[in-house]
């Protein structure tokens, strides 16, 4: 009597109960759940007629459009595996991922087709489907997406028996010091993660969800499934443009969105934010890098956004912690509330067990001081890295996935990240959290963005350096920044150097790429931690 846990079943439910409800809004287009279902079924039928069958892999490189949403459902309901691609990576990485993933077909947006033109002769693809974009012209030999759908003979799909433990998506991590790794996520792990998304972000039938977070990134953190499950409305956003987002908040009645702290920073610091009154008081899930308490406070004060801090990794589908809000916190000051919201928090209801451990495997004291590594096990941990048993064994030891994030556990059980293991600064034997220093600097009125890294030092081994993007027209000196830090934290933690830059390197999801900053400073020195 059991049925497999698969998020695909939520599409069936949405069509059954909400056929005339608006499912997807994409600029000037709108689709009801009935229409969305028909389009995804037609895509599945076209794929089947093109030879895609259960277990086959289909790569997709699309921005946040209705086409991307259709691919998640149309590909996966065949029992095929979707391989979402980051359209901002290099052509070389695209070539590696497409071939390594054993993708038989690629569905690509015309705006991002140029890198594919460079590598197309090296790809082991059987077919390319192109989503046309006005003003773009690609020379790739391909089939137009809409034509592909229209020529499907019927939308009667082949019967596919889904095993909840079979692959649903193959999500590639960004390569930094090695080739990108393919994270194998199953129907079950996606289902459980989306259930957490629904429950802990409070997704309701009347929600209007704005896809600011790239859908290719850990399947939009599960939003591609969870919004459909509730019969809520997806609002697609081709690119992150703060003035457009602030307009859309009111025009579409946005009640929920997700994004990295960098996106939050872009919104609160956009000139339009001071002129905009957001009456919908949207909820926003944020993760990707530890958000500064000062940034959370700005988002709540300036735009009225209710910030919800979540934490996870691609390898965990991704959610494993969230900062649960308790009524006891309501009586605290705004600053204290923001500090609490900056913590990663506690286990979600459905994902499994997460804790902070010492090198010997024992859990750290719940004192908010002892540093350890976050590890997790349970329902959302990946099946492994595709075709890479060695990396899988390195990441999953004795049944626990090791995140590489260093954290403390507070007396109430709330976990708070202090740093990535590779980002921790060890100066003269003292541990310095780069995120702690960044948190102080984000309170400075002239700081727009900041990254703190270790740089080599003959006396101390390494010392902190702050790399700062200033607010427009701000004028502040290196010494003033250093003095500010020394006035607000232990002197040994304060940056010894400050550099002002126009921008910081980031991933497509807005995550700081500190390794690129470190590479510029270490040269022949070897960073050992």
CATH 3.30.300.30 placement within the chain: 425-522
pLDDT tens by residue, 490-522: 888 999 999 999 999 887 667 788 888 888 877
Q: What is the pLDDT of residue 509?
A: 66
Q: Where are the beta strands (DSSP E) in 179-254?
A: 182-186, 208-210, 233-235
Looking at residue 236, what is its pLDDT? 98
Sign of the CA dihedral running 398, 401, 406, 410:
negative
Question: Has residue 304 got a pLDDT over 90?
Answer: yes
Strand partners, 408: 416
**Within 10 A of 99 (CB to CB), how many other CB atoms are there?**
15
> Taking residues 328-332, what's their average pLDDT?
93
pLDDT of 142-172, one tens digit each?
A: 999 999 999 887 777 888 999 999 999 999 9
Residues across the chain: 529
Contact 171, 182 (CB under 8 A): yes
- Looking at 3.40.50.12780, 3.40.1650.10, 2.102.10.10, 3.30.2350.10, the CATH number of the domain 240-420 comes to 3.40.50.12780
* pLDDT over threshold 70, residue 332: yes
Decide if 228 contacts 195 (C-beta within 8 A).
no
Residue 23 CA to residue 207 CA, distance in Å, equals 11
Other beta carbons within 10 angstroms of residue 491's beta carbon come to 9
CB-CB contact of 92 with 105 (8 Å):
no
- For residue 292, the model assigns a pLDDT of 84
pLDDT range class, residue 524, cuts 50, 70, 90:
very low
Percent of the chain with pLDDT over 70: 97
What pLDDT is attached to residue 528? 43
Confidence of residue 523 (pLDDT cuts 50, 70, 90): low
Q: For the domain 9-192, what is the CATH superfamily, name and number?
A: ANL, N-terminal domain (3.40.50.12780)
The tally of CA atoms less than 13 A away on the side-chain side of residue 348 is 31
Tokens describing residue 304:
């009225």
Are 95 and 117 contacting, i.e. CB atoms less than 8 angstroms apart? no
Into which CATH architecture does domain 425-522 fall? 2-Layer Sandwich (3.30)
Is the confidence at residue 245, as pLDDT, over 70? yes
Given pLDDT bands bounded at 50, 70 and 90, which one contains residue 480?
very high
Nearest alpha carbon to residue 308 among 342, 280, 278, 281: 342
Confidence tier at 175 by pLDDT (50, 70, 90): low
**Rounded distance between C-alpha atoms, residue 450 and residue 387, angstroms:** 37
The pLDDT score that the predictor gives to residue 34 is 98
Could you tell me where the beta strands, DSSP code E, fall in 358-446? 372-378, 384-385, 396-397, 400-409, 415-420, 425-427, 430-432
User: What pLDDT, on the 0 to 100 scale, is given for residue 529?
Assistant: 43
Every domain of the chain with CATH number 3.40.50.12780 lies at 9-192, 240-420
| pLDDT value, residue 420 | 77
Kindly tell me if the per-residue pLDDT of 435 is higher than 90: no
Q: What is the mean pLDDT of residues 197-215?
A: 97
What is the Cα–Cα distance from 411 to 236, expressed in whole angstroms?
41
User: If you average pLDDT over every residue of the chain, what do you get?
Assistant: 93
pTM: 0.87
Which pLDDT tens digit goes with each residue over 399-415?
Answer: 999 999 999 999 999 99
pLDDT recorded at residue 525: 52
Q: How far apart are CA 15 and CA 455, in angstroms?
A: 56
Largest CA distance in the chain: 73
Q: Is the pLDDT of residue 88 over 90?
A: no
């Amino acid at each position: 009597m059991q049925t497999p846990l698969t998020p695909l079943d939520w599409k069936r439910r949405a069509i059954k109960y909400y056929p005339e409800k608006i499912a997807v809004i994409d600029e000037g287009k709108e689709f009801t759940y009935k229409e969305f279902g028909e389009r995804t079924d037609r895509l599945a039928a076209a794929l089947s007629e093109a030879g895609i069958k259960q277990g086959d892999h289909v790569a997709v490189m699309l921005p946040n459009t209705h086409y991307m949403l259709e691919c998640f459902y149309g590909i996966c309901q065949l029992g095929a595996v979707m391989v979402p691609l980051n359209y901002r990576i290099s052509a070389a990485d695209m070539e590696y991922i497409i071939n390594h993933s054993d993708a038989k077909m690629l569905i690509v947006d015309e705006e991002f087709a140029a890198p594919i033109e460079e590598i197309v002769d090296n790809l082991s693809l059987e077919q390319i489907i192109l989503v046309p974009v006005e003003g773009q012209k690609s020379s790739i030999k391909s089939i137009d997406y809409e034509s592909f759908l229209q020529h499907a003979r019927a939308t009667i799909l082949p019967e596919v028996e889904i095993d909840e433990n079979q692959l649903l998506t193959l999500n590639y991590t960004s390569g930094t010091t090695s080739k990108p790794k393919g994270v194998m996520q199953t129907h079950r792990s996606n289902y459980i993660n989306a259930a957490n998304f629904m429950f802990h972000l409070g997704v309701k039938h009347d929600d209007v969800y704005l896809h600011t977070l790239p859908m290719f990134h850990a399947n939009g953190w599960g939003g591609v499934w969870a919004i459909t499950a509730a019969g809520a409305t997806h609002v697609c956003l081709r690119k992150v443009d703060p003035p457009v987002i602030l307009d859309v908040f009111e025009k579409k009645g946005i009640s929920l969105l997700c994004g990295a702290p960098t996106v939050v920073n872009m919104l609160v610091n956009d000139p339009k934010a001071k002129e905009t009154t957001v009456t919908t008081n949207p909820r926003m899930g944020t993760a990707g890098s530890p958000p500064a308490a000062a940034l959370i406070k700005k988002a709540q004060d300036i735009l009225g956004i209710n910030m919800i801090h979540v934490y996870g990794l691609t390898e965990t589908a991704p959610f494993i912690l969230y900062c649960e809000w308790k009524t006891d916190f309501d009586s605290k000051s705004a600053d204290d509330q923001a500090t609490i919201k900056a913590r990663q928090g506690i286990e979600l209801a459905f994902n499994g067990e997460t804790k902070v451990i010492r090198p010997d495997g024992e859990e750290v004291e719940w004192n908010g001081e002892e540093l350890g590594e976050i590890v997790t096990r349970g329902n959302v941990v990946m099946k492994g890295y595709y075709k890479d048993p060695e990396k899988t064994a390195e990441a999953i030891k004795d049944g626990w996935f090791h995140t590489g994030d260093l954290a403390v556990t507070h007396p109430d059980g709330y976990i708070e990240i202090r740093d990535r293991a590779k980002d921790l600064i060890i100066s003269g034997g003292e541990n310095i959290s780069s995120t702690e220093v960044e948190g102080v600097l984000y309170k400075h009125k002239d700081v727009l963005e900041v990254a703190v890294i270790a740089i080599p030092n003959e006396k101390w081994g390494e010392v902190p350096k702050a790399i700062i993007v200033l607010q427009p027209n701000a004028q502040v000196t290196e010494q003033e920044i250093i003095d500010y830090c020394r006035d607000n934290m232990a002197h040994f933690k304060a940056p010894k150097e400050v550099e002002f830059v126009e921008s910081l390197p980031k991933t497509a999801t807005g995550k700081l790429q500190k390794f690129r900053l470190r590479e510029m400073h270490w040269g022949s020195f070897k960073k050992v931690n």
